[in-house]
Chains A and B, each alone.
Chain A
Amino acid sequence: MTGDRDLETLVRRHLAAEADELPFLLDGEAVRRRLAEQRRTPWHLLALVPVTAAIVLAVLVGQALMADSGVDGPGGPGVWGPLAVVPSAGGEAALNTGTLRITETCVFLDTAGGESELLVWPADRTRWDASAGTVGFTNSDGSEVNLRDGELVSFGGGGDSTVEGGVSGEEWVARTQWVARPDPSCPMEIRWYVNEVV
């Protein structure tokens, strides 16, 4: 019977041995060449043409629906302050911890991994208190929390990023149906959809 420590040591050694046996053939030239190719040939944008058409249609429909329901559209009355807000929360429940940052134009999370992630809030459970500069949030169990700048927070929810999905911040903003869209100055490479405040 292999003990936990023995097995961990075995796995460490095995992974290191695999790494040692891998030939490393890359040089900076290969990366620079790919970078130059990316700049020259934005083929990936062509793939976005049918997607963009679908998004434009979805946004038009969404705006029509929001007009009917009285929800603020992009560029609305500003009841959302610096928040980026979508109509409702998703169902994901991954956890993301960091320091909440509330500025005049953006609300984002500074994570332990050293990155700034834009927070996206569901309109049906979020409130912006302009006088206090705080975010009010209702969890799915009905509990209420008020969040302040500089607070250490954990959010349940889900995220995506330019790296993972290949969608730039600008493309993502254009594709998303907003109640209040993020200010263009906000960090948008990584986005986190808030579902719970843990």
Chain B
Amino acid sequence: MCRGIRCELNEQLVDDLRARHPEAIERLLDEYGRLLQAVAFHILRSHADAEEVVIDTMLSAWGRIGTLRDPAALRPWLLRIAARHALARRRRSAPDHALLEGVQPATSGADPEQIALAEALEGLPPRMRACLSLHYYAGLSVAETASALGISPNTAKYHLKAGLEQLRTALEVEPRVAPRPRAEA
């Protein structure tokens, strides 16, 4: 049973998409575009590719809205489509695409911890980044994360645990503050 303003909005949005109202795409983008772009960026580490994933997700949602039974599941459904588009795009593109592009949000403040985290995230496999983003950023449960990626809950748990371990190692290795040169007497 779906209750609350968010649910009513989703139901209306899904109804409008099913009725093929073109302005529904605009509303879907307004409502979920930033979320989907962020998850796609976390997976791909490329702003340009993340934008493409959002567009692909909108097109898929437009074409497949008839398969969504429960409007309350719209958010995880969109996240699932976006994550799968992102992983498919990653498989098709060169692995160093993001590095060539050089987009590094959240490191502009030059906080050594943030830089270390960003670099460590880039070193993780894309599916592991997808798990981290869907769970820790988008707030999906482990079961929802697993379902979104088409993997078992145990595999999702493994990716989350191993991902955190690798990030922890990276943070412990990276010096938090560069040592100051000792003043000569």
Residues in A lying within 8 Å of B, measured CB to CB: 1-2, 4, 7-8, 10-12, 14-28, 30-32, 34-35, 38, 94-97, 110-116, 159, 161-165, 187, 189-190
If over half of B's interface residues share one DSSP class (helix, strand or loop), that class is named, otherwise mixed; here it is: helix
Q: Please give the distance in Å from B61's CB to the nearest CB on chain A.
A: 10
State the Cβ distance, B177 to closest chain A Cβ, in Å.
Answer: 16
Q: What distance in Å separates the Cβ of A119 from its nearest Cβ neighbour in chain B?
A: 14
Q: How far is the CA of A26 from the CA of B23 in the complex (A)?
A: 14
Query: Does the CB pair A30–B55 fall under 8 Å?
Result: yes
Residues of B with Cβ closer than 8 Å to A?
Answer: 22-23, 25-26, 29, 33-35, 37-38, 41-42, 47, 50-51, 54-55, 58-60, 62-64, 67-70, 72-73, 76-77, 80-81, 84-85, 88, 105-106, 108, 113-114, 117-118, 121, 132-133, 136-137, 143-144, 146-148, 150-155, 164, 167-168, 171-172
Known: A10-B117, A24-B33, A94-B151. 7 other contacts (CB 8 A): A11-B136, A20-B105, A21-B106, A38-B59, A95-B146, A163-B84, A165-B88
How many A-B pairs have beta carbons closer than 8 Å: the answer is 149
> Are A113 and B41 also in contact (CB < 8 A) when A12-B137, A31-B29 are?
no
* A14 to B80 CA separation, bound complex (whole angstroms): 22
CB distance B168 to A7 under 8 Å? yes
Cross-chain contact A10 with B113 (CB below 8 angstroms): yes
- Within 8 Å CB of A96, what residues of B? 150
**Contact across chains for B117 and A14 when beta carbons are under 8 A apart:** yes
Known interface pairs A10-B117, A159-B150. Does A113 touch B76 (Cβ–Cβ under 8 Å)? yes
* Residue with the highest number of chain B CB atoms closer than 10 Å, among A12, A27, A31: A31
Please, could you name 16 A-B residue pairs with CB atoms under 8 Å apart, sorted by A? A11-B132, A11-B164, A15-B137, A18-B38, A19-B37, A24-B33, A31-B25, A35-B25, A38-B59, A95-B154, A113-B147, A114-B69, A114-B77, A161-B84, A163-B88, A189-B64
Contact A15 B133 (CB under 8 A): yes
Q: Tell me the complex Cα distance, A22–B152, Å.
A: 31
